[in-house]
Structure formats: C-alpha cells, structure tokens
C-alpha cells in the first residue's frame, strides 16, 4: 500500500490517459462509419495511429532531453486534447487520418513519460508489483473509456469533449508530483539480425499479431456498425475481447512456463483463427453466440504477444531483453500499420464479416510457424526460463514499458554528456530543481 500511495499521482495520470485513449479509439471508427467514410479511409485511420505511435516512441525521447519530463508531458496532453477537438470540428476522412497520426504520437510520448517515472520510483524488490499494478490500471481504464462511449454514444459533441477533458486532465497529477524526474528516455531500436538470431518465431509472432490485432482493433467497430449493432453493443464487444485477453494471459502464461511456449503459441493461434472463422462463417446477430466468439477471439488474440515476448526472452543473451523486446515492438508496429489497410480491402470486396480474414490468416500462419520451429529447435529448459510476465495491450505498449518490465536488464544506461542535463542546455540545474520540487 505504501508503494501504491507513493505512485498514486502517476497512476491517476495514466488512468486518465488510458480512458481518453479508449474513448478516442472507439469514437473514430464508429462515428466515421456513420458519417459514410469509405472502408479504406477507416483502415487508414488505424494506420495513422500506428505511424504516430512508432514515431513518438522514436522522437519523444529527444524532446524530453531538451525540455524535461513535465514540460514534454504537458505538450503531449495538450496536443492530444487539441487533436480530438479538431476531430469534432473537421469531420472529414482525410483530416481524421492526418490527425490520428498526431494522437498516436502524443499517446506514445505521454505513456513513455509516465512509465519512465514509475520505473524510477520502483526498486528491484517492488518493480514487479508496481508493473502489475500499472498493467491492471491500463486494463481497467481503457475498458472504462470504451464503456463511457457505450453510455454516451458517438453522436454530437459530448464524447469528443469528455475525451478531451480526460486528455488534458492527465497532465495535472504529473504537474504537481514531488516524484523526481527520471533519467532521459530511451528510443526504441530495431536490430532484426539480433532478434532473428534470438528467436525466429518471435519475429513471425510480432508481425502476425500486429497484422491481426491492428485489423481487429481498428475495424471490428466498423464491422459492428455495418451489421447494424448499436454503439453500446460495439463497446461491450470490444471491452469483452480486451478483458478476456488480459485475463487469459495469466493461465496461458503460466502454462507456457511449464511446457514449450511454442506449443502454447500454436494452440492459442489456432483458437484465434477458429474464433475468427466461426464469426465470419456463422455471422451471428446481436446474441450470446456473438459475445462468445468475441470473448474467445480476444482470449487468444490479446495473449499471444506476451507469450511470444517470454519465448524470445528465454533465448536472449543476458542483459539483452530490452533490445530484443524493442525490436519486437517495432515489428509489431509495422504489422499494425499494414493490417487495417488489408482488412479494409477485404471488407470492401466481400462484406463486413470479411474483416476476420486477416486475423484468420495471420493467426493460422503463426500456429504453422510455431509447429515448424518445434521441429528445428529444442525448447529452452524449464529451469532456465524467466517466469512469464503479463503485459499491457499492444496498442499502448512503448519502449519504456519494456524498461519498466521486471525482466529488463538492471544495468545503468549511459547517455552522452550533451544530454545528461534532462532539461536541456538552456534551463540548467535550477530549472530542473524547479520542475522536481513543485509543491502539491
């Protein structure tokens, strides 16, 4: 409890950010579909988010080194707030695609800053507990954002304004926190060679999950709108899938600690493909069967990536977890950029239920790849495996999430002399002290 009290301001800030992100991510596809946006445009809105998110992961660390964490966080929250208000003012598909890049950029930057702060205040003994609390907060807050949309709908201005309030409200806890600012952020780096040598199946898994979940997360709400479901039904379905995946991570992860993780990847991939196929073929209406299929799909789709990261970590050299996981994160992002475009094309050609074609293909491909790799490489001995660690949703995971992960190496990071001053060359030590000691 003392640890929770210590980080309560940062957790509250993160919760507001995730609520806003959950609302924003559901408003755009549903409202865009109701406004008559083309399926390709709706897919590109999802692609825009991924482009912005990856760009933020790369560029925001440089901004933080120049102006400090508090100022950078304020910029991220303010621009995210402005972006969703522009979504309200400019109801146009191309404007929304362009604006979605900015919202992805700011969301990544804000999440990275909060996560680095949480990591700073966690010692080796408490990091695992703090990380688990943070994962739980992101789960419940994202779900709460979707359920708010179930209550408000997407018509009119109220859902946009509420999300904007949550975005800008997220800056308040960090602005008055006494928690010292952490070391400068680290940008993600991609070393495909290292990642492939460590675990070829990790590359396949990251890209496949990106393709499948990028398509589902962006266009499943559009599928619901095209089928004539209410906004509340769509919100319940998306929340159910997300919650099922978060809960399923624990038993599936523990199972992967005891048997070859690739067997779990293969089995879970087959379940995801089967759930998508059943939904596409049977195409149920707004009834219990549809909820069952979405829960089954979410259970598989949103637990695969965490198991794949654990498998890669089993074979990673000592101290290289961060590099391997960062590489997987960028491969995942590339899949998330392409998946919505392909899924939108299949929906345009074959109808709303064809959205599931992309998840079916890539979950099936992952299952097949896991089966083939088991015939080539022995499993890591059980005693050498690091315990499975649940992770937040892929759309909210940053490089700082990985640094915060208890499995990350605990060596100190060395920064060039010109970026040691976190607030930049013009602000000097006194300005940093001002930022670090804002009274409550």
Distances (CA, A) of 167 to 75, 80, 116, 164, 428: 11, 7, 19, 5, 29
**CB–CB of 45/29 below 8 Å?**
yes
Query: Which CATH number covers residue 46?
Result: 1.20.1250.20
In a domain, 433, yes or no: no
Of the candidates 289, 26, 8, the one whose C-alpha atom is nearest the C-alpha of residue 144 is 26
Note the helical H segments in 200-260. 200-226, 231-258
What's the number of domains the chain is made of? 1
Q: Any residues with CB less than 8 A from the CB of 289 and at least 6 apart, and which? A: 282
Is 231 a domain residue? yes
Q: Which of 7-16, 221-230, 299-308, 378-387 is the least confident region? A: 378-387
Is pLDDT at 161 greater than 60 in this prediction? Answer: yes
| Tokens (6 digits) for 204 | 């396949």
In-domain check, residue 94: yes
Q: What is the pLDDT of residue 94?
A: 95
Backbone angles phi, psi at 93, to 5 degrees: -65, -45
Mean confidence (pLDDT) of the chain: 84
Query: pLDDT for 164-178, tens place per residue?
Result: 999 999 888 777 766
39 domain residue, yes or no: yes
Tens of pLDDT, residues 383-419: 677 778 777 777 777 777 777 777 775 433 333 333 3
Q: Residue 180 is part of which domain span? A: 8-410
Dihedral over alpha carbons 153, 158, 162, 168 (to 10 degrees):
140
For residue 274, being part of any structural domain is answered with yes
- pLDDT, one tens digit per residue, over 367-377 is 999 999 888 88
- Is 72 a domain residue? yes
Kindly give the interhelix angle for 288-301 and 231-258, rounded to the nearest 10 degrees: 40
Residue 51 lies inside a defined structural domain of this protein: yes
Q: Are 191 and 323 in contact (CB under 8 A)?
A: yes
- Matching residue, tokens 């906004």: 231
pLDDT in tens, 253-275: 889 888 888 999 999 999 999 99
Asked if the structure places residue 174 within a domain, the reply is yes
Q: How far apart are alpha carbons 190 and 197 in whole angstroms? A: 13
Write out the DSSP string of 122-165: --TTTHHHHHHHHHHHHHHHHHHHHHHHHHH-SSSSHHHHHHHH
């Amino acid at each position: 409890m003392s640890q929770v009290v210590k980080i309560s301001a940062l957790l509250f800030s993160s919760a507001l950010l995730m609520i806003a992100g959950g609302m924003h991510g559901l408003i755009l596809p549903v409202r865009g579909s109701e406004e008559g946006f083309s399926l390709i445009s709706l897919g590109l809105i999802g692609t825009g988010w991924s482009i912005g998110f990856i760009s933020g992961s790369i560029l925001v660390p440089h901004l933080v080194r120049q102006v400090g964490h508090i100022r950078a966080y304020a910029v991220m929250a303010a621009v995210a707030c402005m972006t969703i208000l522009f979504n309200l003012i400019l109801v146009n598909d191309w404007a929304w695609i362009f604006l979605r890049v900015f919202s992805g950029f700011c969301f990544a930057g804000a999440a990275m800053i909060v996560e680095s702060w949480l990591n700073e205040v966690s010692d080796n003994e408490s990091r695992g507990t703090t990380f688990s609390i943070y994962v739980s907060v992101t789960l419940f807050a994202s779900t709460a954002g979707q359920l708010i949309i179930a209550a408000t709908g997407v018509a009119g201005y109220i859902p946009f304004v509420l999300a904007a309030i949550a975005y800008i409200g997220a800056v308040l806890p960090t602005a008055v926190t006494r928690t010292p600012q952490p070391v400068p952020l680290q940008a993600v780096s991609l070393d495909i060679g290292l990642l492939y040598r460590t675990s070829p199946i990790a590359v396949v898994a990251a890209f496949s999950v990106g393709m499948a979940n990028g398509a589902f997360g962006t266009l499943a709400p559009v599928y619901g709108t095209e089928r004539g479901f209410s906004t509340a039904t769509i919100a319940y379905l998306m929340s159910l899938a997300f919650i099922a995946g978060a809960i399923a991570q624990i038993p599936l992860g523990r199972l992967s600690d005891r048997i070859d993780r690739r067997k779990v990847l293969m089995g879970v991939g087959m379940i995801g493909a089967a759930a998508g196929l059943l939904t596409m073929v049977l195409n149920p209406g707004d009834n219990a069967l549809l909820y069952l299929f979405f829960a089954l799909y979410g259970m598989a789709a949103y637990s695969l990536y965490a198991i794949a990261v654990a498998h890669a970590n089993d074979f990673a050299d000592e101290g290289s977890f961060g590099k391997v996981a960062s590489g997987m994160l960028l491969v995942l992002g590339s899949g998330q950029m392409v998946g919505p475009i392909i899924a939108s094309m299949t929906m345009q050609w074959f109808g709303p239920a064809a959205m599931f074609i992309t998840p079916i293909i890539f979950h099936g491909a992952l299952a097949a790849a896991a089966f083939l790799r088991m015939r080539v490489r022995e499993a890591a001995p059980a005693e050498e495996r690091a315990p499975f660690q649940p992770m937040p949703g892929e759309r909210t995971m940053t490089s700082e999430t990985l640094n915060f992960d208890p499995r990350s190496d605990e060596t100190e990071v060395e920064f060039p002399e010109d970026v040691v001053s976190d607030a930049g060359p013009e602000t000097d030590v006194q300005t940093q002290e001002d930022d670090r000691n804002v009274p409550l």
